[in-house]
Structure 1
Amino acid sequence: MLSLSDVQDARERVEAVARRTPLEYSHTFSDMTGAEVHLKLENFQRTGSFKIRGAMNRIATLSDEEQRAGVVTASAGNHAQGVALAATRAGVDSKIVMPEYAPITKVKATERYGGDVVLYGADYDEAQAKAHEIEREEGRTYVHAFDDEYVMAGQGTIGLEIAEDCPDLDTVIVPIGGGGLISGIATAIKEQYPEVRVIGVQAAQASSAADSLNKGAVQEIDEVDTIADGIAVRRIGDKTFEVIQEHVDEIVTVSDEEIAVALTYLLERSKTLVEGAGAVALAALVFEKFDYEADEVIVPALCGGNIDMNTLTTVVMRGLVETGRYLKIRTELKDRPGSLEHLIGIIAEKKANIYAVRHDRTSRKIALNATEVEIDLEMRGPDHVDSLLAALRGEGYEVEVLD
């Protein structure tokens, strides 16, 4: 099994390329949660995520023959960039298989770092099968995204940094996809400070690790569907599962809506941009997915910041909806002068700001002398939303809240 010495040995190799990322105290999230929250900002890492650490450690340990043959891997995006950069820096040819629906920003970044990108499959697991096919056909070394002790050790250098920069640490919260990150961090921390808790977090719709830990054996789920694409895998690794069983205290899950809220909070209140996978650790804390004490020193690991701009727009909008900052409603009006003015008058009285108004007189669901109206509104929070809806319904409007 992975050991502390493996992580310590990885440090010098990793430091040749990877940055030591900041650990910053957050007044905002400390006030919000009652804990003493320090954010590990791995989204500031080269390539935008922690993956460069494990990739660099693995490629630095290849034999001369393996380096000449080149490497291949599969990734949803972050590991792809890490392998491409690490391989290019070492003069090793890299071929990267990414799912067909991988964010275009991650595909382009991987190519810029020198990787030869092959798009294949609907998700990570199908891409991985293709990468193993290339491995056999071309004699390349497969660099696993997580189930490799050198990769795990490289990711564990984050744990060394956290322990050094936060000596009063009580709890660290770590995202889980395949388990490489949490395996490395948990090993680095638990073998030095066994009293520190390690909490793992998965997206609810990609929760193979949580299910595996509960059942005592690795479980594979049929499909994954989450905005946290960086941790969207059907199955954790066999090697990572052994470490998780040994060193991880608890695994919790968060919904996509909770991830969206955490991402929005980070962007708005901490001016910090993360991807969905980078927000899950904070989401677990903000939404109290595990028990903690007041003033407990907690470090959520923000593991990546590579989010597609189209995805960011959608996620932020969802975050605003979930926090009562954005509201879309539909109602029916009599199609006559003054009807819309009366409706807008109520909205103005409640001091809601109108983004857009849309009329539809063609719907078969309404009477011929009626019109359907959809209105997008800027709101100030859940209480403001409830107040407006109550006022409209009190005036006799049948109001439907739209997703």
Structure 2
Amino acid sequence: MTPSPSGPTGPGSTDVPDVVTLDDVRDAARRLTGVAHRTPVLRSRTLDALVGAEVHLKCENFQRVGAFKFRGAYNALSRLSPEQLARGVAAYSSGNHAQAVALAARELGSHAVIVMPEDTPESKKDATAGYGAEIVTYDRYTGDRVAIGRKLADARGLALIPPYEHPHIIAGQGTAALELIEETGPLDALLTPVGGGGLMAGSATAATALVPGIRMIGVEPAAGDDTLRSLAAGHPVTIPVPRTIADGQAAERPGELTFAINGRLLDSVVLVTDDEIRTAMKFAFERLKIVTEPSGASGLAALLAGHIAPLPPRVGVIISGGNVGVERFLELLG
């Protein structure tokens, strides 16, 4: 992998080095073989008829820890030295990366300390602790999770594993799109939820290399449009902490590395409201018979709400996760 680019770019720019390549994604796929699940791709004639396209849903809600995050976490941790694994790892996360790092650490004989917001859904806290991690909480509206994570890692000699701002994390996340296209063949467009941008950066790296001309469409909650604003500005923009049901996408600012990749490879970003996300979660449950968390349903929400125009014939959608407790699920859809 080449060093991180030093400056921001705009959509379509070609002056950014390939920090993560298709070969990196394929190497991550080899490391994940037999460790991560090769998640199913679902089809629905009802969905196809509703939106007027052939839709392929890559269901990362069936991934280990219930989200795509395990792919990047395991890829990154598996490259640490035995000495570093013995010392342990640290991470900061609203939930899914926390669980992914905790499980990857356990699988590799290490241990994890995770910085999590106080208001993280209890189901995600419980799952993270269940994988053996130590949890340190903070107030997401007043605290700086990056600073807290770095201070903790430095004090304890832990390897800090960020949720998206790392080439090995990005390459691991890209294996979801790699598997999807291996199964479906060429797609005309791929819809991917965007939070910090790691899933999109990895997916876009794989998809655009495999299918030249594919439209890469990011989906953000309307209250958390940091990537859309950043693309318009040509550099990463910071917004107030988003207040949205899509807690996994409540990013204040895209990563420098993920933005450099996404600024070059994304075609567009669309926004979905919390109500549109709820509608998609309900549709997924009632018609597809799958449970999604709010962030996991945002791509489907954009499709159902008609935000993709013109809609091409063959569309892929990454359902990024399904980590939502039953009480929270009923509260959201009640």
SS in structure 1 of the partner of residue 210 of structure 2: coil
Matched residue count: 316
Matched-pair contact (CA < 8 Å) for 1:97–1:128: no
Structure-1 separation of matches of 2:260 and 2:37: 28
Q: What does residue range 95-114 of structure 1 map to in structure 2 within 5 Å?
A: 95-114=113-132
- Secondary structure at the aligned position of 2:318 is classed as strand
Change in CA separation of 1:269 and 1:91 when aligned onto 2, cut-off 3 Å? same
The answer as to 2:193 corresponding to 1:175 is yes
Runs of 4+ in 1 over 2 A off after TM superposition: 122-129, 308-311
- Which residue, 183, 206, 219 being the options, matches 1:201? 219
Structure 2: distance between partners of 1:33 and 1:24? 15
User: Could you tell me how far apart the structure 1 residues matched to 2:52 and 2:131 are?
Assistant: 42
Structure 1 partner of 2:328: 311
Instruction: Provide the C-alpha distance between the structure 2 equivalents of 1:7 and 1:224, rounded to a whole number of angstroms.
Output: 30
- 1:214 partnered with 2:236: no
Find the partner of 1:9 among 19, 23, 27.
27
Q: Taking structure 1 as the reference length, what is the TM-score of the superposition?
A: 0.76
Aligned Cα RMSD in Å?
Answer: 1.3
Asked whether the 8 Å contact 2:241–2:250 carries over to 1, the reply is no
* Residue type at the aligned position of 2:252: R
- Shift in Å at residue 290 of structure 1? 2.1
Correspondence for 1:82 among 79, 85, 100? 100
The question of 1:291 aligning with 2:313 is answered: no
Greater fraction strand: 1
Q: Per-residue deviation at 1:137? A: 1.0
**For residues 62-88 of structure 1, what are the alpha-carbon distances to aligned partners after superposition, in whole Å with 9 as ceiling and x for unaligned?**
123321221100011100110000000
Distance 1:230 1:38, change over 3 A: same
Deviation at 1:47, TM superposition (A): 0.6
Displacement of 1:29 in angstroms is 1.0
Matched, 1:227 2:245: yes
Matched, 1:301 2:318: yes
TM-score w.r.t. structure 2 length? 0.92
Deviation for aligned residue 1:125: 6.6
Counterpart among 184, 197, 201 of residue 202 in structure 2: 184
Structure 2 CA distance for aligned equivalents of residues 117 and 68 of structure 1: 18
Aligned mates of 1:131, 1:147 — CA distance in 2: 14
Instruction: Give the direction of change, closer, same or farther, for the CA distance of 1:46–1:125 in structure 2 (3 Å limit).
Output: farther
What is the percentage of aligned positions where both structures have the same residue? Answer: 39
Is the alpha carbon distance of 1:232 and 1:62 closer, same or farther for their aligned partners in structure 2, counting shifts above 3 Å?
A: same
Q: CA deviation at 1:259?
A: 0.5
- Residue ranges of structure 1 left out of the alignment (5+ in a row): 318-403
Specify the alignment match of 2:79 in structure 1.
Answer: 61
The answer as to whether partners of 2:166 and 2:257 remain within 8 angstroms in 1 is: yes
For residue 123 of structure 1, report the CA deviation from its aligned partner. 5.3
CA distance in 2, matches of 1:155, 1:275: 18
How far does residue 11 in structure 1 lie from its aligned partner after superposition? 0.8
For the 8 Å contact 1:199–1:249, the answer to whether it is kept is yes
Give the letter aligned to residue 146 of structure 2: Q
Partner of 1:48: 66
Q: Give 1:15-26 correspondences, 5 Å limit.
A: 15-26=33-44
| Residue 149 (structure 1) aligns with | 167
Question: Is the aligned partner of 1:27 residue 2:45?
Answer: yes
Matched residue of 2:174: which SS? helix
305-314 vs 168-177, which deviates more? 305-314
Distance 1:242 1:290, change over 3 A: same
Distance 1:246 1:144 in 2: 22
- For structure 2, the residue ranges without an aligned partner over 5 or more in a row are 1-18
Q: Which moved more, 1:13-22 or 1:181-190?
A: 13-22
Per-residue displacement from partner, 1:117-159 (whole Å, max 9, x unpaired)? 1122225973333211101211111100001000000000011
